[in-house]
Amino acid sequence: MESTTEPIKKIALIVAGGSGSRMKASVPKQFLPLNGIPVLMHTVRRFFDFDLSFEIIIVLPENQFDHWKELCAKYRFSIKHRLAPGGENRFQSVQNGLNKIDGEEGIVFIHDGVRPLVSNETLQRCLKTTIEKGNALPVMPLVESVREMTNDGNKPADRSKLFSVQTPQVFRVKEIKAAYEPGYDPVFTDDTMVLERLGKKIYMVEGNRENIKITHQEDLTVAEALLKEF
C-alpha cells in the first residue's frame, strides 16, 4: 500500500464506456467475468487496495447504472464509489467524471475501466511524479519492430523513440479541469493531449507490462493467466 507524509486528496476516475462489440460479446467488456467477478470490480479494487483513502468515481453509460448496481449486489461488492454518466465520446465521459470532483484540490488518476492489472509500483510512480512535477503518464518501451507509413509506401521507424501509452494518466485536479474547459477537439486520443493544449510538459514514468487493456477475447484469456501471478 502507498504511503505518503502529505495528506493529499486522491481520486480514481475510472472510465468504463465499452459496449463489447470488439469482444463479440453481448455483455459490455467491463462486466465480463474475470476469474469469477466482473473486470471492472478488479479495476476498482486495484486503487482501493493501493490506498483506502481513494475517492472513486466510475463513469458508465447511464443505461448501465442499474445493471452495475445489480452486479454489486450479486457479488457483494461494497467498495464505496460514485457514478457519473458517460458522454458521446471519451472526452465527454472524462469531463463528466471531472465535474463530479468537489473543488480543485488533489490528484486525479484517470484510468481505463478495463485495465485491471495496473501494479502498485506503477501507481506509486505516478503519484510521486505528479506530486513533484504536476502529472504522470505511464508508458512501456516498444519491443517489436515498427514501420511508418509514408507517401511512397512505408519505412522503418526508430522504436527507441516510441512508447506505448497506458493509464492511469495522473494530474493535479485544478490543471486537468482547466484543460477540459475549452471543450472537445477531435485530435485528442488521451488525457495528456488535453493537458498539452495548456502548454504543459508531460512526464513519462515506467508502467507495468501486465497493465493491458482488455479489448479482444484473447486479452481476457491473457488477463486471467496474469491475474494468477499478480
Cell numbers for 176: 486537468
State the pLDDT at residue 229.
84
User: Considering the chain, what percentage of its residues have pLDDT values greater than 90?
Assistant: 90
State the pLDDT at residue 134.
98
Residue 94 and residue 117 in contact, taking contact as beta carbons nearer than 8 Å: no
C-alpha distance from residue 182 to each of 84, 106, 195 (Å)? 20, 21, 11
CA distance 12 to 192: 16
The ranges of the chain with pLDDT < 70 are 1-6, 18-25
Please give the tally of structural domains in the chain.
1
Of 107, 125, 134, 109, the C-alpha closest to 8 is 107
Residue 132 within a domain: yes
Q: Where are the alpha helices (DSSP H) in the chain?
A: 39-50, 65-74, 90-99, 120-133, 173-180, 191-196, 217-229
State the pLDDT at residue 7.
80
State the pLDDT at residue 205.
98
Residue 229 within a domain: no
Mean pLDDT of the chain: 93
- CATH number of the domain where residue 34 is located: 3.90.550.10
Residue 143 within a domain: yes
State the pLDDT at residue 25.
59
Residue 53 within a domain: yes
State the pLDDT at residue 212.
97
Residue 230 within a domain: no
Tracing cell 505516478 back to the chain, one arrives at 126
pTM for the predicted model, two decimal places: 0.93
State the pLDDT at residue 4.
47
Residue 14 within a domain: yes
Residue 163 within a domain: yes
State the pLDDT at residue 19.
52
Domain encompassing residue 61: 10-224
